[in-house]
Amino acid sequence: MEINPAVTFKHDRSIMYAKRPKVLIVGAGLAGLTLGMLLYKAGIPFEIYERAAKVKPLGSAMYFNCTTANLFKQCGIYEEFVALGKYVSSIKMCNENRELEFSVDFEGHEELYGANGYIVSRPLIYDLILRQIPEEHVHLGKKVLTMQQGGNGVLIRFSDGSEAEGDILVGADGAYSAVRQGMYEKLKKTNKLPASDALPLPFSTVRLVGQTHPLSAEEFPDLTIDKSQFRNFIATDKMYTWSTSTTAQNTVCWGAILFLDEETSKDNDAFRNSEWGPEAAAAMCEQVKDFPIISGGDKILTLQDLIDRSPKEFLSKVMLEEKVFKTWFDCRTVLIGDGMLYLSIFFSHTL
């Protein structure tokens, strides 16, 4: 395809309305897959391209509140979603002495909003959404090198020498999106990019996340309760919070958040562009191992007890960049992210 920017917005609209646009989605994280699922159910042509050669089942749990859970009703997979999840009736805020400070309660939300809130293991929710999309629409090992757009379409080229053509390009490929960087580079050359959008991504928190293998009631008594025991711990003398939640699969999802200051931000900067995985997580595990948790029984447990029971290959340390971009579309290209689709994500990240 030859992309000609000069003919932008000069379409014969009778031809435009006669066909459905083909959407190219870059990124097979939760945002990209969810968009793909919705397009498939709407009968709109699409393809998803992911740079990773295989999907890694990383992450801990996701909390879908009463409004986001309704998405699965609209997509006709609510019963499957509920079967995977565990009902959350409250989030308990605790201190370092394992005492309850206060509780945020959600009872009665189904009557008010049409759905309850649920904790679901991130790998399971990823698999559920992926199963809604025919596998021929998801292409792995496709790293974007360049992109072009104009009045007659979009064209992306990959590192393996292949190309893809379409009508709309969606960048769902994370904080360091190749699509966003390509779009911003062109906007900057024409002085159309706001100065704030050209600044580096700041980050102020680091997360360590994991999930245990299935546990017995003796190991973690809270697992016998039919509602998810979702607890968040707030420290008084350290720059950390940490959380635990029980799942329908008898696992415990857990995570710790380090809030960075100027000095610790420098210490963690080396991990910013590294692969998430057990190597980066090991040092942080050592830092948080003695943090107290509540199991529902008489045993005095810490995060170390959960770390010991979690598959090491699925532990991950996540750098969280926080920035609101002013520019999220240009011509035929639009940017989305997990946060735009799931406003109540807990302990989650993409591939």
CATH number at residue 277: 3.30.9.30
| Whether 53 and 154 share a structural domain | yes
| Whether 283 and 212 share a structural domain | yes
| Whether 166 and 245 share a structural domain | no
Give residue-wise pLDDT tens across range 26-50: 999 999 999 999 999 999 999 999 9
Q: For residue 348, tell me if it sits in a domain.
A: no
Q: How far apart are CA 231 and CA 58, in angstroms?
A: 21
Q: What is the pLDDT of residue 55?
A: 79
Q: What is the pLDDT of residue 270?
A: 57
| Whether 35 and 131 share a structural domain | yes
Q: For residue 147, tell me if it sits in a domain.
A: yes
Residues of the domain holding 93: 63-119+201-321
Q: What is the pLDDT of residue 343?
A: 33
Q: Which two tokens stand for residue 150?
A: 């104009």
The shares of helix, strand and coil residues in the chain, as percent rounded to the nearest 5, are 30, 30, 40
Give the CATH number of the domain where residue 163 resides. Answer: 3.50.50.60
| Whether 139 and 267 share a structural domain | no
Q: What is the pLDDT of residue 228?
A: 97
| Whether 141 and 232 share a structural domain | no
Q: How would you write the pLDDT of the chain (351 residues) with one tens digit per residue?
A: 556 555 444 445 455 556 789 999 999 999 999 999 999 999 999 999 999 998 777 778 899 988 888 889 989 999 999 999 999 999 999 999 999 999 999 988 888 888 889 999 999 999 999 999 999 999 999 999 999 998 889 999 999 999 999 999 999 998 788 999 999 999 999 999 999 999 888 778 899 999 999 999 999 999 999 999 999 999 988 999 999 999 999 999 999 999 987 666 666 665 554 545 566 788 899 999 999 999 998 889 999 999 999 998 888 888 777 778 899 999 999 999 754 443 333 333 333
Q: For residue 350, tell me if it sits in a domain.
A: no
Give residue-wise pLDDT tens across range 251-298: 999 999 999 876 666 666 655 545 455 667 888 999 999 999 999 988
Q: Which two tokens stand for residue 91?
A: 């989030």
- The domain total for the chain is 2
| Whether 12 and 43 share a structural domain | yes
Q: For residue 76, tell me if it sits in a domain.
A: yes
Q: How far apart are CA 342 and CA 29, in angstroms?
A: 12
Number of helices (H) and strands (E) in the chain: give both, helices first.
Answer: 11, 21
CA-angle at 238, arms to 236 and 239, nearest 5°: 110
Q: For residue 351, tell me if it sits in a domain.
A: no
**Residue 22 class from Cβ within 10 Å (0-12 exposed, 13-18 middle, 19+ buried)?**
middle
| Whether 189 and 82 share a structural domain | no
| Whether 209 and 112 share a structural domain | yes
The pTM assigned to this predicted structure is 0.86
Q: What is the pLDDT of residue 341?
A: 40
DSSP class of residue 317?
E
| Whether 152 and 279 share a structural domain | no
| Whether 208 and 257 share a structural domain | yes
| Whether 37 and 91 share a structural domain | no
Q: For residue 346, tell me if it sits in a domain.
A: no
Q: For residue 226, tell me if it sits in a domain.
A: yes
Q: For residue 349, tell me if it sits in a domain.
A: no
